Amino acid sequence: MPNVPSSRASRRQPLKGSSPSSPGREPVATRSPRVARRKLETRLRLLDAAFELVAQKGMDGVTITEITNAADVGFGSFYNYFDSKEGIFTALVEWLFEEFASTLDRLAAGLPDPAEAVAVSVRHTLLRAYREPVWGQLLIREGLSTRALSRGLGQRLLRDTKRGISERRFIVADELMCVFSVIGTVAAGVAAELHLSGSSKRAVRARKALRSRHEKFAESTAAIVLQAFGIKRAEAEKIARRPLPVPAQTARI
């Protein structure tokens, strides 16, 4: 069974600044705060159950009945929140990546250098994919999708790219094509990590011993990304090896 995040509670927290009802069918906002709270809790239980089942069986092997049973929700009630199985998977992906993007924002908040902010984001993305293969598989699946580019990680990468260009830290001919290139590089790095980590039983048993190798791989990928932004190799490698910042508050990353 693939690695599953250790803390279910962190996934049950609603995202700041987001609408808990989107993209479900029924809005959470009602006249009664108690009813609204129960609706939100039910929706989060469905999302949490979907993630656990995807971690075990993959998206194609999960049914709506299994999701509702695992969430202890009536089958018919499912459609009060999502139109279809694909609908809950779409919401799940947006939820997970928005959560992670917010975590990256907290990590990079105190970094004055946009190059280091990008490097930190790339390294944490690779390391999380290594720790949580299911999350990594979702990232590969959604990496260049319209959803990924129009919100969450994609929008933050575009924002950081524009910041680096405006500060004359990055030198790129086309910012959007550069973003596509970076996303492709990171997705390829995640795919390589998942392949190497899953190809050997011995490697799986020795995950802690191999952590330094995965950290170095994440650093190398970050250095490649920075070079795509026009930073020279020696400087890019130096930036990518800087100590990772610690989040200001405890968060699953």
Give the CATH number of the domain where residue 224 resides: 1.10.357.10
Helix, strand, coil content of the chain in percent (nearest 5): 70, 0, 30
115 and 82 fall within a common domain: no
Q: Is residue 185 part of a domain?
A: yes
147 and 230 fall within a common domain: yes
192 and 76 fall within a common domain: no
Residues sharing a CB contact under 8 Å with residue 197, sequence separation 6 or more, in sequence order: 130, 133, 203, 204, 207, 214
Amino acid making up residue 251: A
pLDDT confidence of residue 14 = 44
47 and 137 fall within a common domain: no
pLDDT confidence of residue 166 = 95
pLDDT confidence of residue 122 = 94
Residue 224 tokens read as 């490649």
Q: Is residue 248 part of a domain?
A: no
CB neighbour burial string for 182-197, b if at least 16 within 10 angstroms, e if fewer: bbebbbebbbebbeeb
Q: CA 19, CA 223: separation in Å to the nearest integer?
A: 36
Question: Are 153 and 252 spatial neighbours (Cβ–Cβ below 8 Å)?
Answer: no
124 and 49 fall within a common domain: no
63 and 119 fall within a common domain: no
pLDDT confidence of residue 98 = 83
pLDDT confidence of residue 7 = 41
67 and 148 fall within a common domain: no
69 and 116 fall within a common domain: no
Residues with pLDDT less than 70, the chain: 1-31, 143-151, 196-211, 247-253
Distance of CA 105 to the CA centre of its chain: 12
225 and 137 fall within a common domain: yes
151 and 219 fall within a common domain: yes
Q: CA 69, CA 95: separation in Å to the nearest integer?
A: 21
Question: Are 117 and 238 spatial neighbours (Cβ–Cβ below 8 Å)?
Answer: no
Domain CATH code at residue 54? 1.10.10.60
Residue 50 lies in domain: 8-87
65 and 122 fall within a common domain: no
Q: Is residue 246 part of a domain?
A: no
118 and 232 fall within a common domain: yes
How many of the other CB atoms lie within 10 Å of CB of 84?
11
Q: Is residue 171 part of a domain?
A: yes
In the listed set 24, 55, 87, which residue is the last one of a domain according to the structure?
87
Q: Is residue 14 part of a domain?
A: yes
pLDDT confidence of residue 161 = 93
Question: What is the number of domains present in the chain?
Answer: 2
Question: Are 2 and 134 spatial neighbours (Cβ–Cβ below 8 Å)?
Answer: yes
